[in-house]
Amino acid sequence: MSFMEVMKQVKKQQFAPVYFLYGSEAYFTDRLRTQMIANILKNDRVNLFTYDLEETSIQEVVADAETYPFFGGTKLIIASNPVFLKAKPDKLPFEHDLEAFAKYIENPVDYSILVLIAPYEKIDERKKISKLLKKNTVVANCEPIKDKEVAKWIKMLADDLRITLENDVYDLLETELSTNLRLLKEELEKIALYVGENGIVTMEIAEKLIAPTSNSSALRLVDAVIDRNLYKAIAIFKDLEKMKEEPIALIGLLAFQFRTILRVKLLKLKGYSQFQMQKQLGLHPYVIKIALSRENKFSTEKLENIMIRLADADQTMKQGKMEKGLAFELLLFDLIK
């Protein structure tokens, strides 16, 4: 079932004895977890029990589920990180008794609700326990959303917060935060606090408030190169270092930006429209729009030369000829001066 379908059932007080939340989108698992605590326990946490299956065996969780609640009512048991579902399980100092778990899945008690959270991109579908979970439990798909669904989710989150986004802001959020719903929610909540209920979010406000990411910082680095501002470029690089970004990865980001500018420039010379460029390159409209705003600052020869210098710096770092941070600073100096 989809996240939305399971959420609707929980809100309607339609509960199953065992849930299997599967996927790496933390926003979905967090929302379902919070909603279950609110609707099943009415926020009374006396009967809430949480376990990390990297620290506790599944048989202990089953034993707790089978133990009648001391204060009556319904027990909600949440167990995360079932490593035994992975193709190559992590080594633990104890064994998980999967036979005991399988018996419980097939015959759960009626006074406990067990929620198993597997925050993984993939599990081993061939395993008996995986098949049992998919057959005998309510499975909530908590996989990341697709690129084409991002705008819909941004609109939904913005409507919940009672704010209105200008069209350019959608493009910015999609490009910067991609399919990370948790990050989208956090950034929109921050913006909502700034503009207030029924506020309108302009591009200026969004750019000022959205936390810098690697992508946005790479764009700012490109701008610093265009402006021939070495001080600004080095400052941005130092900020990225604090974000634990590797210089080799930063070269990759810069290469993507300059390669996009070059490809857009070449297509423009051939008479392509912005829509045709987007279709040809398979990139987000906002990425094309940004590249178009920058391409006239460079000649084709200059862009090709920049790509060669980026490749040389990448090789220097990978071969260990120079300390990476120093090599990147020299690259910026070379590009600007």
Cβ–Cβ < 8 Å for 325, 249:
no
The reply to whether the predicted model has a pTM over 0.75 is: no
- In the chain, the percentage of residues whose pLDDT exceeds 90 is 52
pLDDT of 214 > 70? The answer is: no
Provide the token pair at 218. 């790479």
Out of 209, 238, 259, pick the residue that ends a domain: 209
Q: Do residues 8 and 60 share a domain?
A: yes
Across 187-201, 211-225, 229-243, least confident range: 211-225
pLDDT of residue 290: 84
Query: What are 128-185's pLDDT values in tens digits?
Result: 999 999 999 999 999 988 878 888 999 999 999 999 999 888 888 887 777 788 889 9
pLDDT of residue 71: 78
CATH number of the domain to which 17 belongs: 3.40.50.300
Cβ–Cβ < 8 Å for 96, 53:
yes
pLDDT of 60 > 80? The answer is: yes
How far is residue 198's CA from residue 192's CA, in Å, rounded to a whole number?
9
Give me the mean pLDDT over the 294-309 stretch.
Answer: 91
pLDDT of 106 > 70? The answer is: yes
Give me the mean pLDDT over the 215-219 stretch.
Answer: 70
Q: Considering its fold, how many domains does the chain have in total?
A: 3
> 19 to each of 76, 115, 144, 221, how far by Cα in Å?
11, 5, 19, 46
pLDDT tier at 98 (50, 70, 90 boundaries)? very high
pLDDT of residue 167: 87
Q: Do residues 8 and 137 share a domain?
A: yes
Out of 141, 160, 178, pick the residue that ends a domain: 141
Q: Do residues 178 and 236 share a domain?
A: no
Q: Do residues 128 and 180 share a domain?
A: no
**Domain interval for residue 252:** 214-336
CATH number of the domain to which 201 belongs: 1.10.8.60
CATH number of the domain to which 267 belongs: 1.20.272.10
Q: Do residues 225 and 296 share a domain?
A: yes
